């Protein structure tokens, strides 16, 4: 079953909100939505991941898997985000071996939650 | 179905590790495990919620519900943690109205993740 790459579209990432301008999270979502996702990954916009002090925030989740939340993501990180999401989708339980984890996920983890149930 | 109150037992909460002494997260889990949980709440120890900079960390999760991660929890917070977990268990989707949310959950949220699936 597919995993979800959740992208907070309301993250301001500490920047002022300008009239008519999308916030940082919306811009990150647009950038991610503009490329083909890795196999087995769905990109889903979410209004607020409650990680406002660490925006822009994203999360990875999937049935039977650990969920992970990452912060301080930027548009320049899109290729690495997709690479990290692909490794997550390829895992059985959401836990990607440390050596295979992309650097931005190693360094900007906010939290993880065990499989639900 | 029951919801899970996940308690990180490896959180050091910024304190030095002393030989033979349980770390802050293990002490918090012991305190929570020593009282009767609210109806519909299971207290589950977890090794590392990857929120090490915000320990002690706990999380609430359940099938079909939003998951929440909270940080900087202390033993003095145990009654309020249980009250907050009871409100979470009583909700249908994990979202407790703001006015009904305990203060420590309002102020010390680390992240939330939408229902998985």
CB–CB of A51 and B4 under 8 A?
Answer: no
Here the CATH number for the domain that contains residue B49 is: 3.40.30
**Within the 43-62 window of chain B, which residues sit less than 8 Å (CB to CB) from chain A?**
44, 46, 48-51, 57, 59, 61-62
ipTM surpasses cut 0.90:
yes
What 3-state class would DSSP assign to B109? strand
Please give the residue range of the domain that contains residue A44.
3-113
* Number of domains composing chain A: 1
Which of A2, A106, A112, A117 would you mutate first to test chain B, the one with the most B CBs within 10 A?
A: A112
Question: What residues contact residue A95 under an 8 Å CB cut-off, 6+ apart?
Answer: A66
This model's pTM is above 0.90 = yes
CB–CB of B50 and A59 under 8 A?
Answer: no
CB–CB of A69 and B109 under 8 A?
Answer: no
Nearest CA-CA distance, residue A76 and chain B, Å: 23
A10 interfacial to chain B (CB closer than 8 Å):
no
Q: Please identify which residue in the block is written with the tokens 């998951």.
A: B67
Q: What is the pLDDT along chain B (117 residues), one digit of tens a residue?
A: 799 999 999 999 988 899 989 999 999 999 999 999 999 999 999 999 999 999 999 999 999 999 999 999 999 999 999 999 999 999 999 999 999 999 999 999 999 999 997
Sheet holding B67-70, edge to edge: B41-46, B3-8, B58-61, B67-70, B109-113
């Amino acid at each position: 079953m597919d995993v979800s790459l959740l992208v907070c579209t309301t993250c301001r990432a500490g920047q002022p909100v300008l009239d008519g301008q999308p916030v940082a999270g919306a811009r990150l979502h647009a950038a991610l939505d503009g490329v083909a996702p890795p196999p087995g990954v769905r990109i889903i916009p979410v209004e607020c991941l409650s990680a406002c002090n660490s925006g822009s925030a994203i999360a990875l989740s999937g049935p039977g898997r650990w969920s992970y939340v990452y912060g301080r993501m930027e548009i320049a990180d899109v290729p690495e985000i997709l690479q990290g999401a692909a490794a997550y989708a390829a895992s059985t339980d959401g836990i990607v071996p440390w050596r295979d984890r992309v650097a931005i996920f190693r360094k900007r983890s906010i939290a993880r939650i065990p499989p639900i149930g």
